[in-house]
């Protein structure tokens, strides 16, 4: 702001005008930057302020600031408003033209190839309306055409450099001036340069383009000259000559020239290869050639034009035809062959696919047929299984009365007839058992239950079972073994069935007067069991299929009544595989066949580590067919041995078969008062009002079956003391384990011996009736032994008690401690205690277990682990076998007795 100075006294002066100064910066206004390089004003009171960070527009009338958005942040070096009202803006990124009427910004190309983004130093308009721009050491003159109505903007330009008389140095920024005389001045590093723009001459001669040279690779192409076996150019391309290229000429270069000799180095060539390019391409400055590589086969046309140093373009375009020949594999005849081969391949593919689909269809049809046959077989198996289960109960009602009649009759003729009936009933039973085993193997697979046993004596006993058949058929039966005894682990039930099946087949196909031999040999870690006969033998073709299911030879057995069913040897093979053994068949040198079973010798473990097997006794000689029987033979004992009371105890029989109920009622009524029920549901209702001394239940019944009935009884505190016997036709091992696990006191399969059932029932009732006394006496009977034997037994007991917690305590270790062999220890303990070494160790553990159940606060599982059992289930099983009750029942009864005495 200014002020008028005071006038001296006596003087008078005219007043000075008042000035108003406003300061604007980037902080108090819309100015882009505080560094201002140029200010231009148009004819509409608008100021254009160029700064280091863009262009700011200032309306003087309103004081408003705005900016050209695309230029925000761009360094501005100079600005100029031409006579058309266009704002020319020099930036560090090239030359821009702003149309304020349409708010449009255009980027100006500074050459004919691309947009130049170099620094523009200054801008000046001459008297003719052309705009001059300084770029480095060059001056560029733009002749502008602008339509004010629609805003169309176009231009042509001429570039002047040192070759036109300019100094070889850069111009200064904003160093333009236009004198009234029309002379334009430009300041540079070496001084001021001046020129009259309207007096500068231009080269207006239009250049004519000619093809000067052609190179194929590095080889110069001459007219009529062969290159790699081909003539590329027959005549001059400037006179319509055609350039022929072959696959070996992968690249070529064409050179151009013009008839313009004014600054020829500033001539710019433009070319386009029709068939490949869509627009004109410019050669680099000073360059006059175009190169091409790897053109696809076909016809092309090369077009070339030129622009001279002053921007005048050729009036006529030079043309050259180019033909790129294809390689031989892309020629017409080659394509015809490809088409023919393609058609052939399609046809062959069609044939292959058709044959494959036809084969798939046939295979699918066969699979469907096999699946259908398998479904039919499964239906047959299911039917046979159901029938087999149904047959076991009627067989029980046939076999058991026959056994009673055999015992009661005194007529020898009648006894033979009854034995014949019984033997055939047992044969039918064995077939049923075999079919059930086969079905179980088909559905769920067989399970191996290993137990320790003396295998030599075991096989000898199986052979003895055939003694009667040997005498009846007049066939010699021999047994040989290279060892007197061998203790090992094996499944007695399955091995028994396997050997009996082989012996049955041997007797079946051996004629009268023949010989059947069973021999045992041991080698390394395996034992071989051979069953040989002097029968009809087996053909080589049949040997390959003899162990397949349902396979039967065409050989007629010596005993025509003993026909096979085709599953016996298949089951034998399955039993042997379960033992991880092998079975084979070969010819007997003396005639007949030899079946050989090889089993690995598995050393016995301690009793606590062995999975117990539920053994079945060998059938009598007259009961042999394909498999063994399930009937257990036990002498009948007097009823008074087990029941002290003179009153008959009550027995509840639960079975859905009326005939079975009547048979049991008749067989048990002499010792028990029998009440019956037809299913598990009605039996539970009866138990709510009565308390029988013992319960016999079938396994398979409608509604509540035998397993569920037993589970509910043992879960009821008021009923769990009642002994339960499961009496069923299901003889598989899993069902037996399940029944005994849920609390059943015994598991008896049909058919059964009535006397044996009666003895077991009286034992269980007798044990239950001992209320106020200890149920067991774990002390063994008094044995007459010598002092030396007494010391041996005392030493053995002490060693077992000391190591009772060890799970790996073995018979070998005990025999080594006592200083004798395993066989010697076996004989000594058997003679002095009546127990084998395994049974001896088990008895000591069980007695200590009974003591801990009475006196300690541990539960059954904890006691089992204290005694060296890995699984409490085995401890419970052995405890019940030895003392007749489960450990938990024994512990509860002892606890009640103790509380009562207190």
Burial class (CB in 10 A: 0-12, 13-18, 19+), 781: exposed
pLDDT for residue 272 is more than 90:
yes
Q: 882: which residues sit within 8 A by CB, 6+ positions away?
A: 776, 778, 842, 843, 846
Are 564 and 516 a contacting pair, CB within 8 Å?
A: no
Final residue belonging to a domain, choices 769, 795, 815: 769
**216 and 344 together in one domain:** no
DSSP at 315: S
pLDDT at 470: 82
Final residue belonging to a domain, choices 769, 801, 836: 769
**339 and 326 together in one domain:** no
Q: 361-365, 613-617, 813-817 — which is least confidently predicted?
A: 613-617
> How far is C-alpha 777 from the chain's CA centre?
58
Element spanning 849, H or E: helix 837-855
Are 427 and 468 a contacting pair, CB within 8 Å?
A: no
Are 828 and 834 a contacting pair, CB within 8 Å?
A: no
* pLDDT tier, 578 (very low <50, low <70, confident <90, very high otherwise): confident
**357 and 490 together in one domain:** no
**758 and 644 together in one domain:** yes
pLDDT tens digits, 501-534: 888 888 888 888 889 999 999 987 899 999 999 8
How many CB atoms within 10 Å of residue 213? 14
Backbone angles phi, psi at 317, to 5 degrees: -95, 135
At 41 the three-state DSSP class reads strand
d(CA 52, CA 31): 11
Burial 688-712 (b: 16+ CB within 10 A, else e): eeeebbbbbbbbbbeebbbbebbbb
Could you tell me if residue 844 is inside a domain? Answer: yes
At 694 the three-state DSSP class reads strand
For the chain, the domain total comes to 6
**317 and 349 together in one domain:** no
Q: What mean pLDDT is predicted for residues 599-607?
A: 71
Backbone angles phi, psi at 777, to 5 degrees: -130, 95
d(CA 658, CA 666): 12
pLDDT at 560: 46
Could you tell me if residue 25 is inside a domain? Answer: no
* pLDDT tier, 644 (very low <50, low <70, confident <90, very high otherwise): very low
* pLDDT tier, 388 (very low <50, low <70, confident <90, very high otherwise): low
pLDDT tens digits, 752-781: 777 788 888 888 888 877 543 333 334 444
**321 and 339 together in one domain:** no
Q: What percent of the chain has pLDDT over 70?
A: 84
* pLDDT tier, 613 (very low <50, low <70, confident <90, very high otherwise): very low
* pLDDT tier, 255 (very low <50, low <70, confident <90, very high otherwise): very high
The answer to whether the Cα torsion of 283, 288, 293, 299 is positive or negative is positive
pLDDT for residue 797 is more than 50:
yes
- The structure tokens listed for 326 are 């294809």
Could you tell me if residue 7 is inside a domain? Answer: no
Range of the domain at 486: 446-623
d(CA 337, CA 617): 84
Could you tell me if residue 696 is inside a domain? Answer: yes
Q: 126: which residues sit within 8 A by CB, 6+ positions away?
A: 132, 178, 182, 184, 197, 198
pLDDT at 345: 93
pLDDT at 902: 35
d(CA 134, CA 115): 16
Final residue belonging to a domain, choices 737, 769, 801: 769
Could you tell me if residue 383 is inside a domain? Answer: yes
pLDDT at 399: 77
Backbone angles phi, psi at 744, to 5 degrees: -65, 140
* pLDDT tier, 440 (very low <50, low <70, confident <90, very high otherwise): low
**720 and 581 together in one domain:** no
**CA nearest to 569, candidates 503, 465, 498:** 498
**40 and 162 together in one domain:** yes
Q: What mean pLDDT is predicted for residues 590-596?
A: 86
* pLDDT tier, 116 (very low <50, low <70, confident <90, very high otherwise): low
pLDDT at 227: 84
**648 and 739 together in one domain:** yes
Could you tell me if residue 18 is inside a domain? Answer: no
pLDDT at 864: 86
pLDDT for residue 310 is more than 80:
no
Are 880 and 842 a contacting pair, CB within 8 Å?
A: no
- For residue 818, the domain's CATH number is 1.10.10.60
What value does the mean pLDDT of the chain take?
Answer: 80
**519 and 617 together in one domain:** yes
**455 and 592 together in one domain:** yes
- For residue 533, the domain's CATH number is 3.30.565.10
Q: Please tell me which residue, 445 or 738, carries the higher pLDDT value.
A: 738
Burial 534-573 (b: 16+ CB within 10 A, else e): bbbbbeeeebeebbebeeebeeebbeeebebeebbbbbbb
**458 and 398 together in one domain:** no
d(CA 252, CA 749): 101
Q: 359-373, 472-486, 559-573, 628-642 — which is least confidently predicted?
A: 628-642
């Amino acid at each position: 702001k200014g002020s008028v100075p005071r006038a001296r006294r006596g003087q008078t002066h005219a007043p000075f005008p008042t000035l108003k100064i406003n300061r604007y910066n980037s902080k108090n206004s819309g100015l882009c930057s505080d560094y201002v390089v140029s200010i231009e004003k148009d004819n509409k009171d608008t100021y254009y302020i160029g700064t280091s960070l863009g262009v700011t527009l200032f309306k003087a009338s309103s004081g408003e600031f705005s900016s050209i958005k695309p230029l925000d942040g761009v360094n501005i070096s100079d600005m100029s408003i031409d006579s058309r009202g266009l704002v020319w803006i020099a930036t560090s990124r090239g030359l821009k033209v702003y149309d304020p009427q349409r708010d449009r910004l255009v980027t100006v190309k500074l050459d004919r190839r691309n947009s130049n983004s170099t620094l523009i130093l200054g801008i000046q308009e001459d008297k003719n309306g052309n705009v001059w721009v300084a770029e480095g050491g060059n001056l560029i003159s733009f002749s502008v055409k602008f339509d004010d109505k629609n805003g169309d903007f176009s231009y042509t330009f001429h570039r002047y450099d040192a070759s036109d008389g300019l100094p070889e140095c850069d111009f200064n920024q904003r160093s333009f001036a236009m004198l009234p005389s029309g002379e334009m001045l430009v300041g540079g590093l070496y001084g001021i340069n001046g020129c009259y723009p309207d007096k500068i001459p231009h080269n207006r001669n239009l250049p004519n383009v000619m093809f000067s040279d052609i190179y194929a690779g590095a080889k110069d192409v001459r007219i009529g000259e062969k290159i790699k076996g081909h003539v590329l150019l027959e005549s001059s391309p400037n006179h319509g000559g055609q350039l022929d290229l072959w696959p070996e000429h992968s690249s070529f270069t064409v050179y151009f020239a013009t008839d313009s000799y004014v600054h020829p180095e500033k001539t710019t060539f433009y070319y386009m290869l029709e068939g490949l390019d869509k627009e004109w391409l410019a050669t680099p400055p000073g360059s006059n050639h175009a190169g091409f590589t790897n053109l696809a086969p076909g016809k092309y046309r090369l077009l070339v034009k030129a622009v001279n140093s002053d921007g005048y373009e050729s009036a006529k375009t030079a043309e050259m035809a180019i033909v790129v020949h294809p390689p031989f594999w892309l020629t017409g005849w080659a394509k015809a062959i490809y088409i023919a081969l393609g058609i052939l391949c399609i046809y062959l593919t069609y044939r292959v696919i058709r044959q494959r689909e036809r084969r798939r269809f046939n295979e699918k049809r066969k699979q469907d047929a096999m699946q259908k046959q398998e479904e039919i077989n499964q239906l047959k198996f299911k039917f046979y299984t159901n029938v087999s289960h149904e047959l076991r109960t009627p067989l029980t009602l046939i076999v058991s009365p026959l056994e009673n009649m055999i015992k009661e009759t005194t007529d020898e003729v009648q006894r033979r007839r009854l034995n014949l009936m019984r033997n055939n009933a047992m044969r039918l039973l064995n077939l049923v058992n075999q079919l059930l085993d086969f079905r179980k193997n088909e559905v769920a697979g067989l399970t191996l239950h290993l137990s320790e046993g003396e295998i030599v004596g075991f096989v000898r006993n199986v052979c003895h079972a055939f003694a009667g058949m040997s005498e009846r058929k007049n066939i010699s039966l021999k047994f040989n073994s290279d060892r007197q005894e061998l203790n090992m682990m094996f499944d007695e039930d399955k091995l028994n069935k396997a050997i009996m099946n082989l012996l049955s087949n041997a007797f079946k196909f051996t004629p009268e007067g023949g010989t059947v031999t069973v021999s045992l040999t041991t080698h390394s870690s395996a034992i071989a069991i051979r069953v040989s006969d002097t029968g009809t033998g087996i053909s080589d073709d049949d040997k390959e299929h003899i162990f397949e299911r349902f396979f039967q030879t065409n050989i007629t057995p010596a005993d025509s009544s003993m026909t096979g069913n085709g599953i016996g040897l298949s089951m034998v093979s399955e039993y042997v595989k379960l033992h991880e053994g092998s079975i084979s068949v070969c010819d007997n040198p003396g005639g007949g066949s030899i079946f050989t079973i090889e089993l690995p010798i598995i050393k016995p473990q301690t009793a606590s580590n062995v999975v117990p097997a539920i053994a079945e006794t060998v059938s009598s000689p007259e009961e042999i067919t394909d498999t063994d029987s399930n009937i257990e033979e036990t002498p009948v004992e007097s009823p008074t041995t087990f029941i002290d009371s003179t009153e008959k105890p009550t027995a509840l029989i639960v079975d859905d078969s009326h005939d079975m109920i009547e048979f049991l009622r008749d067989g048990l009524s002499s010792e028990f008062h029998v009440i019956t029920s037809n299913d598990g549901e009605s039996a539970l209702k009866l138990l709510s009002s009565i308390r029988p001394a013992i319960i016999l239940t079938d396994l398979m019944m409608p509604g509540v079956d035998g397993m569920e009935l037993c589970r509910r009884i043992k879960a009821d505190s008021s009923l769990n003391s009642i002994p339960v016997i499961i009496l069923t036709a299901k003889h598989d091992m899993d069902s037996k384990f399940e029944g005994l696990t849920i609390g059943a006191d015994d598991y008896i399969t049909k058919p059964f011996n009535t006397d044996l059932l009666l003895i077991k029932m009286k034992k269980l009732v007798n044990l239950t009736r001992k209320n106020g006394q200890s149920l067991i006496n774990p002390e063994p009977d008094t044995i007459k032994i010598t002092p030396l034997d007494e010391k041996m037994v005392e030493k053995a007991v002490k060693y077992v008690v000391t190591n009772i917690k060890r799970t790996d305590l073995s018979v070998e270790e005990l025999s080594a401690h006592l200083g004798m062999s395993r066989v010697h220890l076996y004989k000594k303990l058997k003679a002095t205690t009546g127990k084998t070494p395994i049974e001896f160790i088990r008895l000591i553990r069980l007695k200590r277990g009974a003591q801990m159940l009475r006196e300690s606060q541990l539960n059954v599982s904890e006691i089992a682990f204290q005694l060296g059992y890995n699984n409490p289930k085995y401890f419970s099983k052995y405890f019940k076998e030895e003392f007749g009750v489960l450990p938990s029942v024994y512990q509860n009864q002892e606890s009640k007795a103790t509380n009562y005495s207190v």
